Amino acid sequence: MNALFNKITFLVVLIAGVTNLAAQPTKPDDKYSRMEVMIPMRDGIKLNTVIYTPKQRSEKLPFLLTRTPYGVNDNESPERQTYIKDMAADGYIFVFQDIRGRYQSEGTFKMQRFSRDKKDPKSIDEASDTYDTIDWLLKNIPDNNGNAGIYGISYDGWTSIIAAADPHPALKAVSEQATPSDMFMNDDFHHNGAFRLSYGFEYSVLTEAAKTDSLYNFHEYDTYDWYLKLGPLSNINKKYAHGTLPTWNNFIAHPNYDQFWQAQALRNRLDEPRTAIQHVSGWWDQEDMVGPQDAYNALEKRDTKHQNFIVLGPWRHGGWGGGEGTSLGNIKFDDQHTAAYFRKEIQAKWFAWYLKGKGDGNFAEAISFQTGSNQWKNYSAWPPKESVIKNIYFRAGGKLSFEEPSATGSKPFDSYVSDPAKPVPYRARPVEETYGPGSRWYTWLTDDQRFADGRPDVLSWQTDTLNEDVTITGNVFAKLFASTTGSDADWVVKLIDVYPEDYKKEPKMSGYELMIADDVFRGRFRHSFTKPEPIIPGKVEAYTIDLHGADHVFKKGHKIMVQIQSTWFPVIDRNPQKYVPNIFEAKESDYQQATQKVYHSVGFASCIELPVVK
């Protein structure tokens, strides 16, 4: 493995998107004192923990925990960390912990460790490790007020929500931020059964090639070329990993939505809010946009004490943790400091109320930054009950319209040839290594889609210029009627805001094509994610594709566009387009061209379901 992987140590900030750089553990002017301890768990394993306590305090203070696989020893003093400096100003006992098997902690790391057997008092999971940590802190750190909170982004968000599933009585507030929720249905490793190749491979290397974070050495800057030359997925183990990455081996062993994936899914691990929970999501989160929405929905069904809340903002993965948040990629938010606002007005006030009883505790059920209008909105429910579903239909001639197709003599479908040997890149090349130098991974969801528009293997439909604003707030679904000459197919659907060709407000944004909602669906799972089936070549099939939540205003003078394609490479692996039982075991000869047809006739009226607010 040492010859295979180029080991580079990374801070959690690189993964979560927080921008604090290398640490100086102690400085003369630090306002917090630092100590390192090894906290014993119920099974005897000890976890490396860094604790910061204010040098001056006038009251007993609560604990704020972060539990991470990304290393804690290099963290700066809390008042120097942009992500938490507003809370540091309020005064807390900050606790940073390596989860078991990572960095300085003992034990064995397991990706998204399964829930423990509660009949065994010494069985462990991330919830029990959090419980034992809080219990030790209460007994061993003086001048605490008996309350604890936990927060974190990405994997740290997942450890936070898992702690809420079986909380210590002292755990009063949880802010899970960008948690994954279901690694087969959405987020990091799959979307609707379609495998996230570049992220799945590179993240497996990052966390499992060594106890500290490691990057794979591609020897090529444009990883699009490397992944294309890779050939079938079976070559990962055959040529490179040789069975040494447990998570990659699990991908191969579990190509369908079996018990392995179902047991990991949050909806099967959460029942009701047992403490106050805040879910935080970014509209352009390139890794875990769906997870917080899923976690919120899973708990909301049994939220009898009004303890379940959601915050949605215009951010990339973890983008609220650093910077001001006035823009993302090329998109500007009218000088709204969205990230700074979240940290000071939402996150800090949330923990101050639940852990210290300070403030008014008046939190909206759902707080959303509405893009397009660039305004913060409060809602009494998510999705808001005021939204009304309105279909926007594909029409002949590349037209998109709120009027249904009529019975005319025009061709009832549009078509394209999908070639796995020439897949559509998911962003403009070069496709840099996900976490490598110069990577544009962080903002690719806001990239101008004109690089794909007009390709012969990408279909586009768009409205006429809008005469009035169209506001969508809620969940967006694609309803496709489509056929393929193959026996399997992927369908990528992108809902796009097209800026005016003469955009005087910012001329360089003229004609910009901004994705608002998007996702991919693997056709073999159209009837069941547990029991895939081949597609009958030439048969028109119905596909319902969840494009997830949005809160956006398509402004007057803009256009609404939809793009559809069958490859999104290499963020999504190439579908052979010939049905094979396990794509991870496909042969080179299984990959074939296919002609895809998307229908827009009276009987097969493909459309996008928009949650329109008047």
- Residue 5 pLDDT grade (very low, low, confident, very high; cuts 50, 70, 90): very low
Residue position matching structure tokens 């210590």: 168
44 Rama sector, left if φ>0, alpha if ψ -120 to 50, beta otherwise: left
- Residue 215 pLDDT grade (very low, low, confident, very high; cuts 50, 70, 90): confident
Average pLDDT rounded to a whole number, residues 348-377: 98
Average pLDDT rounded to a whole number, residues 578-607: 97
Closest listed residue to residue 157, CA positions, set 341, 304, 18, 357? 18
In a 13 Å sphere around the CA of 562, the CA atoms on its Cβ side amount to 28
Average pLDDT rounded to a whole number, residues 193-200: 97
* HEC string for 195-224: ECHHHHHHHHHHHHCCCCCCEECCCCCCHH
70 Rama sector, left if φ>0, alpha if ψ -120 to 50, beta otherwise: alpha
3-state helix, strand, coil in the chain (%, to 5): 25, 30, 50
- Residue 214 pLDDT grade (very low, low, confident, very high; cuts 50, 70, 90): confident
Q: Alpha-carbon distance 331 to 312, whole Å?
A: 17
- Residue 212 pLDDT grade (very low, low, confident, very high; cuts 50, 70, 90): confident
- Residue 164 DSSP SS3: helix
442 Rama sector, left if φ>0, alpha if ψ -120 to 50, beta otherwise: alpha
In a 13 Å sphere around the CA of 406, the CA atoms on its Cβ side amount to 4
Task: Look at the alpha carbons of 48, 53, 59, 63 in this order and tell me if their dihedral is positive or negative.
Answer: negative
Strand runs (DSSP E) across 248-355, as ranges?
276-282, 308-313, 327-328, 331-332
Task: Note the pLDDT of residue 406.
Answer: 85
Residue 419 neighbours by CB under 8 Å, 6+ apart: 457, 593
Distance between start and end Cα atoms, the chain: 58
Closest listed residue to residue 486, CA positions, set 422, 425, 421, 417? 417
Task: Look at the alpha carbons of 271, 274, 276, 282 in this order and tell me if their dihedral is positive or negative.
Answer: negative
Assigned token pair, 436? 């490598």
CB 475 within 8 A of CB 548: yes
- Residue 409 pLDDT grade (very low, low, confident, very high; cuts 50, 70, 90): low
Residue position matching structure tokens 């390709």: 455
pLDDT, tens digit, for every residue of 157-178? Answer: 999 999 999 999 999 999 999 9
Between residues 498 and 23, the one the model is more confident about: 498
Closest listed residue to residue 113, CA positions, set 269, 251, 303, 275? 269
- Residue 9 pLDDT grade (very low, low, confident, very high; cuts 50, 70, 90): very low
Dihedral, CA of residue 54, residue 56, residue 59 and residue 63, to nearest 10:
0
Task: Note the pLDDT of residue 28.
Answer: 76
Domains, the chain: 5-183+263-379 (3.40.50.1820), 388-613 (2.60.120.260)
Task: Look at the alpha carbons of 506, 511, 447, 336 in this order and tell me if their dihedral is positive or negative.
Answer: positive
Phi, psi at 146, each rounded to 5°: 85, 0
Residue 5 neighbours by CB under 8 Å, 6+ apart: 205, 209, 210, 214, 215, 216, 217
Assigned token pair, 48? 């490396």
Phi, psi at 296, each rounded to 5°: -60, -50
DSSP code at position 395:
E
Task: Note the pLDDT of residue 534.
Answer: 98
> What is the residue type of 207?
T
Average pLDDT rounded to a whole number, residues 76-91: 97
What are the strands of the beta sheet with 144-153, ordered from one edge? 32-40, 46-54, 93-98, 61-68, 144-153, 171-177, 276-282, 308-313, 366-370, 375-379
> What's the mean per-residue pLDDT of the chain?
94
Closest listed residue to residue 236, CA positions, set 195, 265, 177? 195
Closest listed residue to residue 434, CA positions, set 228, 188, 232, 246? 188
Task: Note the pLDDT of residue 6.
Answer: 34
Q: How many CB atoms neighbour CB 258 within 10 A?
A: 14
Residue 470 bridge partners (DSSP): 554
- Residue 111 DSSP SS3: coil
- Residue 85 DSSP SS3: helix
pLDDT, tens digit, for every residue of 230-251? Answer: 999 999 999 999 999 999 999 9
Q: Alpha-carbon distance 172 to 176, whole Å?
A: 13
- Residue 244 DSSP SS3: coil
Residue position matching structure tokens 């090639």: 209
- Residue 25 pLDDT grade (very low, low, confident, very high; cuts 50, 70, 90): low
CB 174 within 8 A of CB 277: yes
Task: Note the pLDDT of residue 310.
Answer: 98
User: Residue 7: pLDDT above 50?
Assistant: no
Q: Alpha-carbon distance 350 to 151, whole Å?
A: 11
User: Residue 8: pLDDT above 50?
Assistant: no
Average pLDDT rounded to a whole number, residues 568-573: 98
Judging by DSSP bridges, how do beta strands 5-6 and 607-613 pair with one another?
unpaired
